[in-house]
Chain A
């Protein structure tokens, strides 16, 4: 509690400095695109990966078209740090929309932070594409909010079907993060589908993000003898939970969602994670040419392997660029409104509304994390991948298609 007040103080000073620096993008002949993510805080790798993925898409635009869409240059993408906190997410999106006057926003990874930023974009009629927020409520905020990944109801179903059909397990325990919309939602959808398929959730326990000690919950779980423990949380906690699970002598597999996807997962969990599974948007060892080309480019730029978050950020950005290009071709006069008029002006609103329609039309877009087709609710429907952790490596196990 104490710390949150302090951090806010520090941030308001920072925002003040940014205001002084003053960087409005209006009235100039350039397109400004915003992105926000957790560049500090507990989920730092999410924000970093998103930023890197967006950057690769931008670099590609620079290499192929001199950084221009419809003849108008795209200025370097404005990236804001929300410190991994929903309150800050709202503040930085306000800044992107009002200060930087962006024409579109690439949104957050964590659903709670996308949910904090989405209403601001919706109200300002600025299209927002979230690369990797999987909670269904995110796109329900309004018709300007899109996503290029699958949703938690589908992911929960994938985890449930995989546990029930592929692993042939019947009795599971759930350990969820009560502070996260994502985790609570995933647990709920998992339970629903798992029960429909004849499975049983023997015990449901919870923790709060940031906790360090899960032994009490795991001891209670151990007493019920489940065949697997479902941990629909994020990688820092998942790694610690895996470690403590093994310390308490529990040997059953842990099953997670895409919140586990991070290079750090194995650093924290180590050997304890062997034999565990999680559903994800891609697997690095999957032989898809577009994916492998992206991998090469990413490795050259950042000297490390990308996670799916980076791939989805790349997909979200290219979907946006494609829609903008189509707008420039179809209606150059309206397209100019994205760069030549102030945020909130009629010309800008007309342009962003057109842009919105074109993003909504996205069909069969081949991305690095599968093919994106947006449905009438602005959600992508695409298959999920299940990854197995074996000898400290992430191995592609199977793909599960939407039912």
Chain B
């Protein structure tokens, strides 16, 4: 039993990282009907922004909550800017073209970020400085949780709540919801659609950056291709929860994380990557709109 509970703790922590990345996919999809394949690479950039900030401020020598927060904030701001630039330079020019053009552009941006990363940072893994000293807490019954896992859970939860607040209770959130219904109608109501789309990208990218920092904190090995697999799996998580649906992305991410850890723990580690796609196939067969998604009739 304690083994199962421990696996659950591991799974939920891992899943909350997927949830953070999946939120970015789902928001952009909800508003633009675009799958932003570069999102996983923004997550990678988040880890690298944090890595360079931590080195610049000497966080390795004086680990502590303040420095950790500074590193996290720097990564989020940096990636927010990257998200804005990507949208402005890559996606906006093709927004009026077919959706396929936008999708291919997204793959292009993803390639650019990955290989640009290899060029700039080098292909070898870097070791992320320990900005928070690891400590263990016993939860009773042989189950332990590290302070880093707690930080992952708390920070993800806080960011998800903040996102929910922004979307539901602020003017800009209202505008986002309006734009996601209809660009034209929103524009007629005086909403600057361009600005809202930019804002959505910035928001999604900051969440991806946070996920990157949280993962690097716990598994201190970062490299330019680290975003490929998590990006793909978070995308599956977003589809699983119902793409375009914010609570759905969170649920999808958690389901993915727990499923993955349970498969490794109880079946075979070789199925770790397979489970994501098995889940995707199952959900597409059983409930194509996702767990929380509404089935819509597409007019042809």
Known A40-B122, A44-B124, A208-B272: A219·B114 in contact at CB below 8 Å: no
The reply to whether A212 and B7 contact each other, CB–CB distance below 8 Å, is no
Q: Which of B6, B123, B270 contacts A44 (CB 8 A)?
A: B123
The reply to whether A42 and B265 contact each other, CB–CB distance below 8 Å, is no
Q: Which residues in chain A, 118-177, are within 8 Å of chain B measured between CB atoms?
A: none
Query: Is B50 an interface residue, CB under 8 A from the partner?
Result: no
Cβ contacts under 8 Å, B269 to chain A: 178, 205-208, 211, 216-217
**Cα A369 to Cα B7 with chains together (Å):** 43
How does the 8 Å CB contact mask read for B132-152 relative to A, with 1 for contact and 0 for none? 001010100010101010000
Interface residues of A, CB < 8 Å — how many?
37
The reply to whether B10 and A215 contact each other, CB–CB distance below 8 Å, is yes
**Cα A216 to Cα B272 with chains together (Å):** 10
**Cα A329 to Cα B275 with chains together (Å):** 63
Interface residues of B, CB < 8 Å — how many?
43
The reply to whether A268 and B127 contact each other, CB–CB distance below 8 Å, is yes
**Cα A2 to Cα B260 with chains together (Å):** 21
Cβ contacts under 8 Å, A6 to chain B: 111, 114-115
Cβ contacts under 8 Å, B61 to chain A: none
Q: How many A-B residue pairs have CB under 8 A?
A: 99
The reply to whether B136 and A249 contact each other, CB–CB distance below 8 Å, is yes
Query: Is B215 an interface residue, CB under 8 A from the partner?
Result: yes
Cβ contacts under 8 Å, A2 to chain B: 228
Cβ contacts under 8 Å, A62 to chain B: none
Closest Cβ of chain A to B6, distance in Å, is 5
Closest to B261 in A: A216
The reply to whether B3 and A40 contact each other, CB–CB distance below 8 Å, is no
Closest Cβ of chain A to B153, distance in Å, is 14
Closest Cβ of chain A to B263, distance in Å, is 8
**Cα A205 to Cα B265 with chains together (Å):** 9
How does the 8 Å CB contact mask read for B242-270 relative to A, with 1 for contact and 0 for none? 00000000000000000011101110111
Query: Is B14 an interface residue, CB under 8 A from the partner?
Result: yes
The reply to whether B270 and A40 contact each other, CB–CB distance below 8 Å, is no
Closest Cβ of chain B to A39, distance in Å, is 9
Query: Is B223 an interface residue, CB under 8 A from the partner?
Result: yes
Closest to A271 in B: B134
Given A3-B225, A6-B111, 6 further pairs, Cβ under 8 A:
A2-B228, A212-B219, A222-B3, A239-B221, A243-B220, A268-B220
User: Which residue numbers of A lie inside 8 Å of B, CB to CB?
Assistant: 2-3, 6, 10, 40-42, 44, 83, 178, 205-208, 211-213, 215-217, 219-220, 222-223, 236, 239-240, 243-244, 246-249, 264, 267-268, 270
What would 23 A/B residue contacts be, using CB atoms closer than 8 Å? A2-B228, A40-B122, A40-B124, A44-B125, A178-B269, A206-B269, A206-B270, A207-B269, A208-B272, A212-B215, A212-B219, A212-B221, A216-B261, A217-B264, A219-B10, A220-B265, A223-B2, A236-B125, A240-B220, A246-B134, A247-B144, A264-B127, A268-B220
